[in-house]
Structure 1
Amino acid sequence: MPGAHTPAVREFLADPAAGTARVAAQLRRYWDNALEPYWPQIRGLLESEVLRRCRQLARDGAGTMFNDLHPNISWDAGRLMVRTRAWRRSGPLRGDGLILVPSVFHWPDTTVMAEPYQPMLTYPAPGVATVWQQGTVPTTEALDALIGRTRARVLVAIADPVTTVTLARRLSMTPGAVSQHLTVLHAGGLLSRHRSGREVFYARTTLGESLCVAS
């Protein structure tokens, strides 16, 4: 096996418990430096994507949902097709079906996993650029004059269902301030809210969408 006799492998095999502890410590450092600062945005984006796809599936069916996921993915007459350069496979999905995995790290293509593993389709989550975007949300003078500049920024920033914490991070505002504006916008019929577990997601209503488009 390539690499089986490298110093790192020999050190691990000599004391697997200590090796496992070192790996866990390295993963922890990676989490603290690379992921933890952005985790509220990442989790919020992925949860809103899952919620949006569930609604789309229930409302419009599998064909519409799959055809909207990614240019590499298409659905035609009950057949799912995924274009990939890695390998070719055709046939029915077995076992527990297909798991859809939105990702903020895999872009711009898709990846596929199949038997003997659980079939899995990973695709780039829409809006991934907003994970690292903070503060800048363009609005118009008309919308600013109608509902106020800060509330206009909040309304425009909610392109997809989002939580208060994620939106606060995106806008470089405190969660408390964002929550106050969300409450007013919701009371005015510009936002709807939906609870998923312990999280509350806000989304623009038809009226809220029309204001953003009209402005």
Structure 2
Amino acid sequence: MLRYLLTEDDVGAVRFGISPLCELGLSIRAIADPSRFPLQVGWLRRTEAARERLDQVALLALIDERGWTPDFLNPRPSSPLTRLDDELAALLAMPAEVFRDDLVAVFGQVPDVFAGSTTRALRRVVAALGQLWETCFEPYWPRMRAVLEADIVYRGRQVSQSGLSAMLNGLTSRISYDHGVIEMRMADPRPRVRAVGGDGLTLVPTMFTRRGSAPVGDGPPMVLYPARGQGALWETERVANPAAVAAILGETRASLLAALGDPASSTELGVRLGVTASAVNQHLRVLRDAGLLVSTRYGRSVLYLRSELGTALLTSRAG
């Protein structure tokens, strides 16, 4: 059990971040045991051939039989706009003792593949992660990032509408919050209590955790939780539409309107509905100009959400 203790000041310092390096590190768990990550079967299938060309010896040496990875693969992101190049540069510049200590904390020793020169071991880790990114993540990152950003927008709406407690208690069944205490049920049997203090708490949505996780060691307070909407990322979605609305708007626009009860980007919607990104953007502009959608920019993405008028149209026609 891990407990984070928050004061009133700490509650105001809860923030969100996105970390490409966290996604890389956590994805090794799906690569090592695909059966535990059914929502990412689409990604695993699409990247199967590319993964055969990777340094899998180094990658799989970064995970143990429990699915734990060293904390240097889970850096605390400073914002939702964190760049992988910056994270890999920081990893490469990591002090040798931190690298070794993080490995020992997970494996009880430094794995044989990383024994000897720490500089050489770090270079191999960074090179293997860079190859994993270029071949298996970069082609799909816009889609993944859109899901992660939409999740953050959704959580922000929860805080504004229902408060921080409701948002934290809705992250995952493994996490609960009550009277300034966040409890995480962890595979690690050791009870750990960490006062957030002035460090702040960072919440990180991810595609590659099922029930939530946190750093193995005593690093800065951070919670990684499963992002909403990831299950629809790799499969075409067919949204059932009220026939009258589809007759007025057309099947695709009615599908978009029905799908946008939660924020989403045009990239994510294109994947979900099996429509090209350019076509989705044209339809979204028409729906927004008609007042049926609203849009907001979040980081590099524009997120769309059904307006009150759009919801009223669906509701009235469905009735």
Q: Specify if TM > 0.5.
A: yes
C-alpha separation between the residues in 1 aligned to 2:110 and 2:301? 46
Question: 2:168 is matched with which residue?
Answer: 66
CA contact (8 A) 1:95 1:118 kept: no
Residue 30 (structure 1) shift: 1.6
Question: 1:98 is matched with which residue?
Answer: 201
Structure 1 residues 25 and 83, CA gap change in structure 2 (3 angstroms): closer
Structure 1 residues 144 and 98, CA gap change in structure 2 (3 angstroms): same
C-alpha separation between the residues in 2 aligned to 1:48 and 1:22? 34
Alignment of 1:79-158 (within 5 A): 79-86=181-188, 87-90=190-193, 92-107=195-210, 109-113=211-215, 116-134=218-236, 136-158=238-260
Which structure carries more relative contact order (alpha carbon 8 Å, separation 6+)? 2
Among residues 136, 141, 149, which one is paired with 1:39 in the alignment? Answer: 141
- Residues matched between the structures, number: 210
Residue 138 (structure 1) shift: 3.6
Among residues 42, 45, 48, which one is paired with 2:150 in the alignment? Answer: 48
Residue 164 (structure 1) shift: 2.0
1:194 correspondence with 2:307: no
Structure 1 residues 21 and 116, CA gap change in structure 2 (3 angstroms): closer
C-alpha separation between the residues in 2 aligned to 1:4 and 1:48? 38
SS at match of 1:112: coil
Kindly provide the CA deviation profile for residues 88-121 of structure 1, in whole angstroms up to 9, marking residues without a partner as x. 23463223121111111101x1213387310111
C-alpha separation between the residues in 1 aligned to 2:114 and 2:217? 29
C-alpha separation between the residues in 2 aligned to 1:70 and 1:178? 31
CA contact (8 A) 1:104 1:125 kept: yes
C-alpha separation between the residues in 2 aligned to 1:138 and 1:37? 30
C-alpha separation between the residues in 2 aligned to 1:203 and 1:43? 17
Alignment of 1:18-29 (within 5 A): 21-29=123-131
TM-score where L is the length of structure 2: 0.57
Residue 210 (structure 1) shift: 4.1
Q: Which runs of 5+ in 2 are unaligned?
A: 1-103
Aligned alpha-carbon RMSD (Å): 2.8
Kindly provide the CA deviation profile for residues 63-103 of structure 1, in whole angstroms up to 9, marking residues without a partner as x. 12112222222222333333334232346322312111111
TM-score where L is the length of structure 1: 0.81
Among residues 257, 262, 271, which one is paired with 1:160 in the alignment? Answer: 262
Q: Which runs of 5+ in 1 are unaligned?
A: none
Amino acid at match of 1:28: G
Q: Percent identity at matched positions?
A: 36
Residue 153 (structure 1) shift: 1.8
Amino acid at match of 2:294: S
Structure 1 residues 85 and 147, CA gap change in structure 2 (3 angstroms): same
CA contact (8 A) 1:38 1:131 kept: no
